[in-house]
Amino acid sequence: MEVDSIPQQTQEKAAQIDSADLVVGLFAGLNQQNISLLYEGLRALPGSLRIVVLQSDPAGNKATQNSLSAEGNSSLSVLPWSNVIPDLAGGPMQSISVACRSLFATTEKMGARGCCLVASEMEGEMPQWVCQLVQPLLESDFDLVVPYYAPRKLQGLLNNSIVYPLTRSLYGMQIHNPLGPDVGVSRRLAQKMLGNNRNANAGSSQSHPLASLTPAAVCDNLQICQVHVGARIYPPTDWVNMSSLLAQVLSPIFIEMERYAPCWQRTRGTVSFPARGEPVSPSQETGTLDMNRMVETFQLGVRDLQEIWGLVLPPATLFELKKLSRLATDQINMPDELWARIVYDFALAHRLRTINRDHLLLSMTPLYLTWVVSYARELDGAGATAVEKRIERLALAYEAVKPYFISRWRWPDRFNP
Amino acid sequence: MWDQVKQALDQSTTKFLTEIAHLLPGVVALVVALLISSVLAWILAIVVRRLLTSIHFDEQLNRWGFASLEEWSPMNSPTRLVSRTTAFLVVIAGFLIGIAAFDAESTSLLVRSVFAYIPNIVGAILVLLVGSLVASFLARSVLIGAVNLNLHYARLLSAGVKWLVIVLAVAMALEHLKIAPSIVDLAFGILFGGIVLTLVLAVALNSKELVTKSLDRNAKETPNENIEEPFRHV
């Protein structure tokens, strides 16, 4: 039952509220000032909306059920989101998954028109971008509103290197941040996600709601909208858990690829996808580039992980990697086609269960870091427009290699490495 | 006297021929059992080989982490190893049946004790298989984890973990087979301790430079409040 996804305390408080037009899940650890600003922004939304805010409480901000309707058109009720906390033992992806399920279940239970997950902090003022995510749901009946974070050179690297170009080449839509995590979702799509979740629980694979949103919306021809929301503040890199984070992100994407294989195999080319709102210029990135560690990890991988990569990658790719590892640290440059091919080969090995799936995804870390090194070196000193062009070039490489992937997907035995 | 000698010879010849005649059915039964079991073994070996080939058994074994089994197999093919082992077991079974046909009283004890030992053998094989699986899985986990943590002695750690688990599994299997249990206990203790000691020495002495380099690098990489890491991945 999807109601099980709603925390007990939230259910008790929600029982006092009949219905709502919009449910907002406040998952990001915001300070009291930003929360107040957000409430003001939501109350100022056009139309007499009944808004319910689910507020997790990582910063110790008190969230008791109260109706706030001092100023503005809409009434706003705040409910505690008790067992949804950003730092569950399973990692951040697991926490967001729990939050999404709970948010979708609450949306369905209250018969709301849509919901919005606020999982990030942005540079700039708080309420504007949340309202921008919500408005297309309420005013234009969009089913999925995804953010278009202002592109930054060395941030959101996993999205830039794999998630965006892979999703774009597979599903043919230029959605820049398909995994959100800040998203607006219509009731129709939320219901579909809950249905998917039930099916996934019945089967063996556990899907992730955020990874399912874009494929489900594209393949079911739902209305999708992309909104410029500013520059997201990314959490600092935890190098010790870097590989498990990579696995946590990629695993649900690869699982969705299996589920929607008939859909993406039919898709040819990509559709340009204009974003609403005005693009925001991000602030200047600071920090010292130290890529020696990443290069060393790659060289170690080439030396020690051959037996694993040999089961996944074709000999030509292995040969290319060996050649790369022999280059001097400042000359290592992974071609986009090679990287795209590697990602596709890992996706296929994930599907075929060539080796244990955790081992497979964890062993991808040195290759990913090599791509990061190549990318960072290429963009060293470049401006914001160069970032977009660079990511566009990578996405085109993914599209060019897609026929190879489709062939391997359809006839894996013919292409055994 | 000549008559007595002749009589004794006749008696011994008769006794010998009687014994031979008594044994002959058993020998024939043994030969027949061996022949039939050989034919059965040959057919079974072909069936097993074809079945395993059709499911790409050799490749699957590689994927499951049993790559080293190839080295131990005839013609580097685990499929052949399995099919030949099956055939060998069938021939052994035929031989035991043939032996039992000789003299039920004297040989049944042997056959019974051999069959009573089979559960021990099966148990030991299972222990070895599970041990081998666990060893491969842990070795891979350690190898990948160590490479991702940028440890230069990743392979050494992985091999150490693998051999620790394999030695443990072999000791358990031998214990199960009841082969010199006290020696096995002692040998296991020495070998297990030896591997741990070797690992410690390898890291502390032989890999001194590696460790020093690694520790130096880690010390350099200790987060410095003045240096901001610019990379953000997720």
Residue B9, in any domain of the structure: yes
Instruction: Residue B165: name the closest of B122, B213, B201, B132 by CA.
Output: B132
The verdict on A199 touching B (C-beta cutoff 8 Å) is: no
Of B49, B67, B102, the domain-final residue = B102
Domain residues for B202? Answer: 116-219
Task: State the pLDDT at residue A204.
Answer: 46
Which residue, chain included where needed, has tokens 């790369």? A324
- Asked, for residue B175, whether it belongs to a domain, the answer is yes
Contacts of residue B110, Cβ cutoff 8 Å, sequence gap at least 6? B99
B 46-65 near A (Cβ less than 8 A)? 59, 62-63, 65
The answer to whether residues B26 and B96 belong to one domain is: yes
8 Å CB contact of B231 and A372: yes
Contacts of residue B213 in chain A, CB cutoff 8 Å? none
Q: How many domains does chain B have?
A: 2
Interface size, chain A vs chain B, as Cβ–Cβ contacts under 8 Å: 99
Of the listed ranges A72-81, A199-208, B1-10, B170-179, the least confidently predicted one is A199-208
pLDDT tier at A229, thresholds 50, 70, 90 = confident
* Residue pair A397/A160 in contact by the 8 Å Cβ criterion: no
Tokens of A84: 């949804």
- Asked if A243 and B148 come within 8 Å (Cβ–Cβ), the reply is yes
Check CB contact under 8 Å for B150 and A376: no
Residue A91 has pLDDT above 80, yes or no: no
Cα A195 to its chain centre, rounded Å, is 20
- Where are the domain boundaries for CATH 3.90.550 in chain A? 2-266
pLDDT number for residue A57:
64
The pair of three-digit structure tokens given for residue A170, joined into one six-digit string: 């597979």
Mean pLDDT calculated for residue range A231-250:
85
Q: Are residues B95 and B126 in the same domain?
A: no
Determine the pLDDT at residue A90. Answer: 61
- Whether B90 and B126 map to the same domain: the answer is no
pLDDT for res B225: 46
- Give me the residue from B150, B221, B228 closest to A300, CB to CB: B150
How many angstroms away from the CA of A372 is the closest CA of chain B?
9
Q: Which residue of A has its CA nearest to B68?
A: A307
Q: What pLDDT is stored for residue B224 in this prediction? A: 47
Same domain, B122 and B92: no
**A15-24, A200-209, B138-147: the lowest-pLDDT one:** A200-209
Q: Is the pLDDT of residue A1 over 50?
A: no
Cβ–Cβ of A288/B233 closer than 8 Å?
no
Distance CA B39, CA B90 (A): 10
Structure confidence at residue A172 as a pLDDT band (50, 70, 90): very high
Residues (pLDDT < 70) of chain B are 63-73, 102-108, 203-229
| Residue A155 with chain B: CB contacts under 8 Å | 231-232
User: Across the beta sheet with A224-230, what order do the strands follow?
Assistant: A66-68, A75-80, A50-55, A22-26, A114-118, A183-186, A144-149, A224-230
**Which of chain B's residues have a Cβ under 8 Å away from the Cβ of A296?**
150
Q: Please say which residue of B75, B102, B129 terminates a domain.
A: B102
Residue A14 has pLDDT above 70, yes or no: no
What burial class does residue B13 get, using C-beta atoms within 10 Å of its C-beta: 0-12 exposed, 13-18 middle, 19+ buried? exposed
Searching chain A, which residue's CA lies closest to the CA of residue B232?
Answer: A155
Whether residue A154 and residue B148 make contact (CB cut-off 8 A), yes or no, is: no
Question: Is a pLDDT exceeding 60 seen at residue A66?
Answer: no
B220–chain A Cβ distance below 8 A for any pair? no
- d(C-alpha A248, C-alpha B208), whole Å: 35
Closest listed residue to residue A210, CA positions, set A228, A186, A192, A183: A183
B229 — contact with chain A (CB < 8 Å)? Answer: yes
The continuous run of DSSP H or E covering A260 comes out as none
- Number of other CB atoms surrounding residue A388 within 10 Å: 13
Q: Of B76, B102, B128, which closes a domain?
A: B102
Domain spanning A2-266, CATH architecture: Alpha-Beta Complex (3.90)
Does residue B1 sit in the same domain as residue B72?
yes
Name the residue with higher pLDDT: B2 or A403.
Answer: A403
The neighbouring-strand residues paired with A114 are A22, A186
Q: Is residue B148 part of a domain?
A: yes
Q: Does B110 reside within a domain?
A: no
Give the helix ranges, DSSP H, for A83-227: 92-110, 126-139, 157-158, 164-171, 187-202, 209-219
Q: Is residue B225 part of a domain?
A: no
Are B231 and A285 within 8 A, CB to CB? no
Residue numbers in A near B143 (CB within 8 A):
304-305, 308
Instruction: Write out residues 123-152 of B within 8 Å (CB-CB) of A.
Output: 137, 140-141, 143-145, 147-152
The reply to whether B109 falls in a domain is no
Residue A360 predicted with pLDDT over 70: yes
Distance CA A160, CA B6 (A): 107
Q: How much is the pLDDT for A395?
A: 94
Residue A70: CA atoms inside 13 Å, Cβ hemisphere, count?
6
ipTM tops 0.90: no
The pLDDT value recorded for residue A121 is 83
Rounded mean pLDDT, A61-74: 54
Minimal Cβ distance to A249: which of B151, B221, B234: B234
Compare CB distances from A359 to B141, B149, B150 and report the shortest one's residue. B141
> What is the average pLDDT score of chain A?
84
**B17 and B67 within one domain:** yes
Closest CA to B99 of B115, B86, B85, B87: B115
Window 266-285 of A, Cβ < 8 Å to B: 285
The interface residues of chain B toward chain A in range 77-116, judged by CB-CB distance below 8 A, are: none
Q: Helix axis angle, B2-54 relative to B78-100, nearest 10°?
A: 150
pLDDT at A12 over 90: no
Lowest-pLDDT choice from A91-95, A215-219, A251-255, A261-265: A91-95
B194 lies in the same domain as B144: yes
**How do residues A289-344 score in pLDDT, each as one tens digit?**
678 888 999 999 999 999 899 989 999 999 999 999 998 888 889 999 999 999 99
Q: CB-based contacts of B78: which residues, under 8 Å, 6+ apart?
A: B57, B58, B61, B66, B69, B70
